[in-house]
Structure 1
Amino acid sequence: MSTLELTKENFDQVVTDNDFILIDFWASWCGPCRQFAPVFEGASERHQDLVFAKVDTEAQQELAAAFEIRSIPTLMIVRDNVAVFAQPGALPEAALEDVIGQARALDMDEVRRSIETAQKNGAEGAPGGQQAGGEATA
């Protein structure tokens, strides 16, 4: 499966319509981003049941700001409208495969319970996830 290009205009729809999305925040001038691109593309070929998407942080500055992207490349995984993983840096293939496996294994009901508990206790966010939908609209 080829990767989707995410924009401010299509982000919410793509996240809402898909249960599991890997997002690569990148820029064309970024050397590590270019190094990570074939690793990300290769994973998209191996995991055709998942959605792989890219956000050009230069063209989509508002979207990058909404997710507080400070360093690129940053990989984010969104499951069921919840960001369950976000890490800067160009992951090697084995590390990316490990992260995908861990994200697949997550019990999303448990993640949602953790978020609810943290919100009830007045925490800003919850370990293991934050709401992903709707953050990019301004």
Structure 2
Amino acid sequence: MATVELTTANFDEVTGRDGIVLVDFWASWCGPCLKFAPTYERSSEKHQDIVFGKVDTEAQQEIAAKFDIRSIPTIMAVRDGVIVFAQPGALPESALESLIEQVQALDMNDVRQQLAGHQH
């Protein structure tokens, strides 16, 4: 599956549904972002069950501001509408695959309980 361009119009809808969504925050002037893009694309072809989204931080400054993106590329993982990972820096392919495996292995009931515990 090819990557999906995320904008203010579709971001909440795409990241709010069940399943895993990876988000790559990038910009056309960012060298590391452009180097990471083929790795991200290859991974999207391997994992048909995951949505791979991209946010152009220049065109979508509102989304970048909402998530306080200060450094790009930043990779965010969302599962069942819950942000479970967000970290700046381009990942080597092995680290990206490891991240996907970890997100797939999460017990989302456990994650929701932990989140509920932090809100008190």
TM-score, normalized by length of structure 1? 0.85
Unmatched tracts of structure 2, length 5 or more: none
Unmatched tracts of structure 1, length 5 or more: 121-138
What's the counterpart of residue 107 of structure 1?
A: 107
% identical equivalent positions: 63
CA RMSD of aligned residues (A): 0.7
Q: Offset at 1:18?
A: 4.2
Q: Offset at 1:17?
A: 3.1
Q: Distance in 1 between matches of 2:15 and 2:89?
A: 23
Q: Is 1:29 the equivalent of 2:29?
A: yes
What's the counterpart of residue 92 of structure 2?
A: 92
Q: Offset at 1:12?
A: 1.1
| Segments of 4+ moved more than 4 angstroms | none
Contact 1:18 1:51 in 2 (8 A): no
Give the number of equivalent residue pairs. Answer: 120
Contact 2:17 2:81 in 1 (8 A): no
What's the counterpart of residue 11 of structure 1?
A: 11
What's the counterpart of residue 53 of structure 2?
A: 53
Q: Distance in 2 between matches of 1:14 and 1:95?
A: 24
Contact 2:17 2:80 in 1 (8 A): no
What's the counterpart of residue 67 of structure 2?
A: 67
Q: Distance in 1 between matches of 2:16 and 2:103?
A: 18
Per-residue CA distance 1:103-127 (angstroms, 9 max, x = gap): 100000000000001101xxxxxxx
Q: Distance in 2 between matches of 1:30 and 1:46?
A: 25
